[in-house]
Structure 1
Amino acid sequence: MRPFPARAALPQPRRTAADVLVFLGAAALLWLVVRLAHGTTAPWNPATAPSTVSTDPADLPYYAGRSLLRMFAALVLSVVFTFVYATAAARLRRAEKVLLPLLDILQSVPVLGFLSVTITGFIALFPGSELGLECASIFAIFTSQAWNMTFAFHRSLVSQPRDLDEAARLLRLSRWQRFWRVDVPGGMIPLVWNGMMSFGGGWFFLTASEALSVGDHQYALPGIGAYVAAASADGDLGKVLLAIGVMIVLVTGVNVLFWRPLTAWAERFRIEQSEAAEAPRSLVLDLLRRSRVPALLGRFFGPLVHPLDRAMAVFGLAQRPLRISPGRRRLGDVVFGVVVLALVAYGLSRAAAFVAATTGFGEVGNALGLGLVTFGRVVVVVAVATLVWVPAGVWIGLNPRVSRLAQPVVQVLASFPANFLFPLVTAALAATGVSLDWGGILLMALGSQWYILFNVIAGASAVPGDLREAAADLHLPRRLWWRRLVLPAIFPGYLTGGITAAGGAWNASIVAEVVSAKGTTLTATGLGAYIADATGSGDAARILVGVVVMSLYVVGLNRLFWRPLTVLAERRFTL
């Protein structure tokens, strides 16, 4: 890791001012969290609960705060899930055979599919309290954030440089120590960039996660997503535009106060011999570095580190190398495979029996045909996004000065919930007579193209400076520079972006193939519209058919196309 340069001592007044600002900021943040969290435990009665929220503009700041609290709660859950799931998939040989295909399936299940299954359980877990609906909403946002981060962190684990792997074993680090001292720092840059993208994905599905359906009843949680849904249903485009303005302020504030400092801080974990000519900067991070408050907190919690390391030594030493040559199949592997196949067969048989007893298998053929139409839209979205955003991502990632100027713009565009613009786009499509069958491709792209851009930026910015300098010294022709340096360097990151962009496009199809504004509803032919219609009518059998068919398409695409490319990247394009 590149060491962070030593800082000169700051004058006492500047340090005192930084201490005061950091303390006041932390106190204000704590007060806001307590104030907003208090509303999550309000009494809740299904018979009298509102199906919509007030569209009074005075309520927008409170709604924005409640939505932001849900987003960060889901982000914390996503990080914990990422660490546990990705580590197990990368380190446990047998578990990898199940966890990676399961991750393909999980990212292919639409958010509405998760909500239809879990919301009743969350309400039963907290009877009489709004906390049940809050947990269901947070879980829905979590399902739109976690998979992309998990793919990115797993990619960093399996492509970890061999010298770090050997050093961890020679130093006899425990598995716990290796995780926090090698694995997490090594995957910090792609994790932060994909965390930003996942956060943007959470905004995209905010409307669906704050307007919840339980049976035939609709319930709305206070939030900016529910506000936009209510304003769109009323056909009040003025209030929709007002909510869009609040969202721009909210997203920009999150970028300045959270993501920008985090990306600048993550630069210290870059693996290279030479220091970047111009490292990313953040005023908030500079303020924290000037303040003595973080150091005081470190001295307070620091003594807990060594006892925790000793306690976690029960997990054993990191003695086995990351890359183990495939050996002879053992009895345990055979038993494990048989058990997994038996469980899968049992689940499929139960699902088939349920479908046969309700809608019949003819509905599966209908869903497969609709899925083929949506598949065509997904291919167009990924192909166009690749052609547009790979060159742009390389340009941003390899130029620190450009990155400093472009990163806030990219983050705002990616984090902005594109479905807030759907009422405006719907009005434009209705006025121009353009079919949603074609307009839906644009709507799907608004919610999924950023995965490719962010991963390409992360991959390009992670290219070691010494390799860039060597290419410059050799005066490589432009075509050879792309073929020998840039494309191999960004290829693993692009694959992560491509996989998650394709999965995001499938998910986005549910809200992009059925859009409404001013009482006008436009519907496109496709599997997304099929699932949205089944969810709206509460048809559990059709929901199951739609989710299973969508999962088949996504998993099939990943296994037949993305997986071979991933194996190629692991074998040829890792340091």
Structure 2
Amino acid sequence: MIHLPDRFSRLQPRETLARTQVLERGWPFFLDLCIAAIGLACFYAVVRIAMFWAGRPEPEFIVSLSPRALPHYAFYSVVRIGLAYLLSLLFAISYGYIAAYNQRAEKVMIAILDILQSIPVLSFLPPVMLAMIALFPTRQLGVEMGAIVLIFTGSVWNMAFSFYSSLKSIPRELMEATNIYCFSRVQRLFQLELPYAAIGLIWNSIMSVAGAWFFLMACEMFHLGSRDFRLPGLGSYLQTAADAGNGVAICWGLAVMILIIVATDQLVWRPLIAWSDKFKFEQVESSKRITSPILHLLTQSTALASLSHRLVDPLTESLYTRLAKHRIAKLRQLTTSRPQSRLLSIVVRIVLVIVIAAAVLYAALQAVALLRPLPGAAYLHIFQGAIATFLRVNLALLLASAWTIPVGVAIGSSPRLARIAQPLAQIAASVPATALFPVLLLALVRIGGGMGIGSIALMLLGTQWYILFNVIAGAIAIPSDLKEVATLFRFSRIQRWKTVILPGIFPYLITGLVTASGGAWNASIIAEYFPIKGQILQTIGLGAIISEATGGGRFPVLLLATMVMALMVVTTNRLVWRPLFRLAETRYKLGA
């Protein structure tokens, strides 16, 4: 028997209930104080960033390897990645929306997206940095904006592909329901399209932020011709430590990075994943739900509940009502519109097309003029490098798919396993492989390998996560009623994979493979050309050519290599990925 102290034994049930009520009343107040403290901290961060960016640029910033400098560097890196992610999210939603609903522009926009996702970060580096520095020549803001845009170019494309493929796979009956109830485009976006795409978009956001950490070293410390750009941040800290061979500093930097990743997972991604679970397209609710203590605490906040009830809900209802009335009036106006107004819109479109075509033609002529001095040997060297990189990319995709598909399905099908495996996968995807590559390369040299095998290993480390996170999202999005039907009819494991799992994850898998392919081409700039302890280790490939041309300021070679890489990626997408996308949009689309 357990004997309680006298002060507990004397408590009456009424007194116990009173204390419980006091705690229930005090806990939301404590949450409100925490939310207010977070708001003040964000305001202070904005002030600090504004003061630093408004100052004069530091041409040769000296990166300190002292652990005391890590909190300061981590703060600036988190701000850069956060701003780059917000920019990526806005771009992905806007670009994916237009590409999904504008049939005339869809083919061109997807082709452009294929090209942009295959262009390495270092190929964007010269024009981006020169343009930003020209816009803000006397402020640190120019270099900072250049770094943010570079991080953006390395993390946005998989989000755009995810949102586009989600919009193309929305069930027809849901779209018809929005038309029957006269939803405006804004109301349909926020009440159907974003919720339907939430699962894939959140998991690709996790991958994008992980990719931002992966390319952080290249974005915070780089050479452009004779100029050396260094920004205070974790990326420059790890790059400086790797160049100096300082293993202790590398461990300190990776420890801080892992701490930030775990905190981000628990405070941001886990609540979002639990929140998005309610948007699954299913008729039978699953008994296994994803939970988040942070999300549960936020729902208990009286300040957030009051703000939503008194401000957000009335504003959204008023906005949706006005937009619906405006849409109905616009539809009536279109039925009675005159031919003159239609003719004017056609003329405007023709003029716009002519202006864009003229700009593209001018850029093409300038590119031809820049490539004219290159000898024939340069073309042959780039062609050989393209073949070598193409083979490495496809081998990396095969190796990645072999383990990410079964592991991703296992994680997405088990909330308990996802609670453990998701932070580990996120940490593994976020740690810059370039920080671990010296150890990996030395191990491969000892067993008889070299840069040929090492480059494939580094591509694998940087791109396998695109497939894994998309497969996890696809497994989570499989409706629970389909799983219960498979259980009811006692499907074997092979039957379950053939009829439920593979068809269910197929659209997400294709998105993951497309973005992983582009990521592998992008990672070739690091995988095939690696500086270590004062020497350059490289192998034949387009990535090595681009890295070498960027460091030497040879812009004609950089332009030609980038064009060849983009051409190969677009050709592969047209012959392989686009037919698979159409198959995912038709045969494996959910619907009644």
TM (normalized to structure 1)?
A: 0.91
CA drift at 1:354: 1.9
* Counterpart mapping for 1:126-525 below 5 A: 126-298=136-308, 299-309=310-320, 316=327, 347-356=363-372, 358-360=373-375, 362-429=377-444, 434-525=449-540
Give the greater-gyration-radius structure (CA).
Answer: 2
Give, in whole Å, the separation in 2 of the partners of 1:344 and 1:457.
Answer: 40
Q: 1:26 aligns with which of 21, 39, 46?
A: 39
- Helix, strand or coil: the match of 1:18? helix
- Paired residue type of 1:300: L
Judge conservation of contact 1:141–1:205 (CA < 8 Å) in 2: yes
CA drift at 1:569: 1.2
1:33/1:252 CA distance change after superposition, 3 Å: farther
1:153-183, Cα deviation, whole Å (9 max, x unpaired): 0000000011110000000111111111111
Judge conservation of contact 1:255–1:412 (CA < 8 Å) in 2: no
Judge conservation of contact 2:242–2:435 (CA < 8 Å) in 1: no
* Counterpart mapping for 1:64-103 below 5 A: 64-103=74-113
Give, in whole Å, the separation in 2 of the partners of 1:178 and 1:384.
Answer: 40
1:204-263, Cα deviation, whole Å (9 max, x unpaired): 110111114344101101001011111222221221121111111111111111111111
Judge conservation of contact 1:51–1:218 (CA < 8 Å) in 2: no
Give, in whole Å, the separation in 1 of the partners of 2:228 and 2:74.
Answer: 21
1:33/1:418 CA distance change after superposition, 3 Å: farther
Judge conservation of contact 1:120–1:214 (CA < 8 Å) in 2: no
- Helix, strand or coil: the match of 1:452? helix
Q: Give the aligned length.
A: 553
- Which residue does the alignment assign to 1:543? 558
- Helix, strand or coil: the match of 2:299? helix
1:424/1:29 CA distance change after superposition, 3 Å: farther
Judge conservation of contact 1:449–1:501 (CA < 8 Å) in 2: yes
- Which residue does the alignment assign to 2:30? 17
Judge conservation of contact 2:135–2:142 (CA < 8 Å) in 1: yes
Give, in whole Å, the separation in 1 of the partners of 2:62 and 2:319.
Answer: 48
1:254/1:439 CA distance change after superposition, 3 Å: same
Give, in whole Å, the separation in 1 of the partners of 2:364 and 2:69.
Answer: 47
- Paired residue type of 2:369: A
CA drift at 1:336: 10
- Which residue does the alignment assign to 1:532? 547
Structure 2 runs not aligned, ≥5 long: 1-20, 332-344
CA drift at 1:405: 2.2
1:307/1:243 CA distance change after superposition, 3 Å: same
- Helix, strand or coil: the match of 1:187? helix
1:203/1:387 CA distance change after superposition, 3 Å: same
TM (normalized to structure 2)?
A: 0.88
CA drift at 1:365: 3.0
Q: Bigger shift: 32-41 or 482-491?
A: 32-41
1:315/1:196 CA distance change after superposition, 3 Å: farther
Judge conservation of contact 2:214–2:429 (CA < 8 Å) in 1: no
- Which residue does the alignment assign to 1:561? 576
Give, in whole Å, the separation in 2 of the partners of 1:149 and 1:384.
Answer: 23
Q: Bigger shift: 66-75 or 475-484?
A: 475-484
Q: Bigger shift: 564-573 or 299-308?
A: 299-308
1:157/1:284 CA distance change after superposition, 3 Å: same
- Paired residue type of 1:473: L
Give, in whole Å, the separation in 1 of the partners of 2:361 and 2:438.
Answer: 43
Judge conservation of contact 1:144–1:205 (CA < 8 Å) in 2: yes
Give, in whole Å, the separation in 2 of the partners of 1:545 and 1:209.
Answer: 22
1:311/1:359 CA distance change after superposition, 3 Å: farther
Judge conservation of contact 2:182–2:324 (CA < 8 Å) in 1: no
